[in-house]
Amino acid sequence: MITKYVSACIRDIQKHRFQEGSGPQTVVILKGCPMYCTSCPSPEIRNHGVRLVWDPARARHFEDGRIFSVQEVLELCLDHPDTLCETSVLLTGGEALMQHAFVYELLSRLKERGVHTAVETTGYVAESQFARLLPLIDHLIFYIKHYEREAHRKITGVYNDLILSNLRNSLGSSSEVEVRLTLVPGLNDRPEDVAGFSRMLQHVGVKQVQLPPLSPSAPPVRSNPADHASPFTGVEMTEYQDAFPT
């Protein structure tokens, strides 16, 4: 089936080369997110359409997002034919999997060409869609925001049942699954939260987690404008490090 006409609203497409000799990584930042995090650094990304946004620094409006077809994004991702084998693509957001029809087509085309695929997600995606996408994802990066159901709803607007179910299912898949904790000062970074995260993650079957960077000078987890990674919050991190050996 011809799928190149499937389109999505994308905020930005960036090229990164992390070290000399390595292939480029293309980062595709998709708009749209079904959650309402109280700590969201970029709430306007939640809308999955093109929107006019006011920029106070430049005192003018700008268009947030642009519609791209699968074909257009594919061409941008593959514009280094000499290093094709080492090329990788990371989808992020917002919630990268919200525009799932586009993501399915794009990942399918990338996998056909042998490109390494990575996705950052909150896991808040219908189980059937998640299961369909999973075999196309080489590296799945899961951001977990809270261990307790009601508290999760309070800080994100949604319960975490679906997220934990998708996380559990992903652990049995062929994807390499990386779990990252999103720690927000005062919301989930207290010493007593360590035990809560630890208990919940053990219950799901997660053996290892990635903690936020130790300091602003540490390598960033991701260059994501609606960054799901939280700032390092202080001494409590020691307890997290002890509880979750990385």
Nearer to ligand SF4, 26 or 230 (CB): 230
Round to whole Å and give the CA distance between 83 and 168: 35
CA distance 226 to 7: 21
Of 3 and 165, which has the nearer Cβ to ligand SF4? 165
H helix runs in the chain, sequence order: 70-77, 100-112, 127-133, 149-156, 161-171, 191-204, 236-243
Cα–Cα distance measured from residue 227 to residue 93, given in angstroms and rounded to the nearest whole number: 8
Find the binder of ligand SF4 among 8, 35, 140, 209 (CB under 6 A). Answer: 35
Does 33 contact ligand SF4 by CB under 6 A? yes
Residues numbered 82-141 forming contacts with ligand SF4, rule: CB under 6 A: 93-95, 122
- Least gap, CB of 22 to ligand SF4 (angstroms): 28
Determine the 3-state secondary structure of 26 from DSSP. strand
| Contact mark string toward ligand SF4, 223..242, x via CB under 6 A | ---x-x--------------
Number of residues that bind ligand SF4 (CB under 6 A): 13
Strands 88-92, 116-121: pairing is: parallel
Q: What is the 3-state secondary structure (H, E, C) of 65-126?
A: CEEEEHHHHHHHHCCCHHHHHHCEEEEECCCCCCCHHHHHHHHHHHHHCCCEEEEEECCCCC
End-to-end CA distance of the chain: 43
| Options 29, 45, 125, 229; binder of ligand SF4; rule CB under 6 A | 45
Nearer to ligand SF4, 110 or 227 (CB): 227
- Three-state DSSP state, 156: helix
| Using rule CB under 6 A, residue 212 touches ligand SF4 | no
Query: Contact between 37 and ligand SF4 (CB under 6 A)?
Result: yes
By CB under 6 A, residue 155 contacts ligand SF4: no
Does position 46 interact with ligand SF4 (CB under 6 A)? The reply is yes
What is the closest distance, in whole angstroms, from the C-beta atom of residue 131 to ligand SF4 in the complex? 21
Instruction: Kindly report the number of other CB atoms within 10 A of residue 120's CB atom.
Output: 27
Q: How far is the CB of 54 from ligand SF4 (least distance, A)?
A: 19
Residues that bind ligand SF4 (CB under 6 A): 33, 35-37, 40, 45-46, 93-95, 122, 226, 228
